[in-house]
Amino acid sequence: MTQLKEFINANRTLFVVVSFAVTMYVQHVSNTAQITELTSKCKDLELKIEEQYKNIDAIKLDKAVFEATITQFTLMHSDLREMRADIKELLKSITRNG
């Protein structure tokens, strides 16, 4: 133990440089692991976003189909009212003439 203390005291500059290098290496390894993890999370989020865009597109399509259907029903409804009015007029004219 005393030999280690004497070695460190005698070679302080070397000890500081080696400690600094080891610390930098540990930080590099840690940062690389964090970058890899963040990249993976980013890819997962991009996939989720793409799924959400697909869902939104499907909803937009459903909305467009719904609006077209409602428009058609409205047109059919007004056509049926016209037909009903025409049939009533025909029946009135038949009962008057008949």
The pLDDT of residue 98? 61
Q: Find out whether 23 and 16 touch, Cβ atoms under 8 Å.
A: no
pLDDT per residue as tens digits for the range 8-17: 778 888 888 8
Q: For the chain, what percent of residues have pLDDT higher than 70? A: 99
The answer to whether the Cα torsion of 88, 92, 97, 98 is positive or negative is positive
The pLDDT of residue 81? 93
Cα separation, 21 vs 27, in Å, equals 10
Cβ within 8 Å of residue 15, ≥6 positions away:
8
Cα separation, 7 vs 15, in Å, equals 9
Give residue for tokens 């390894």.
29
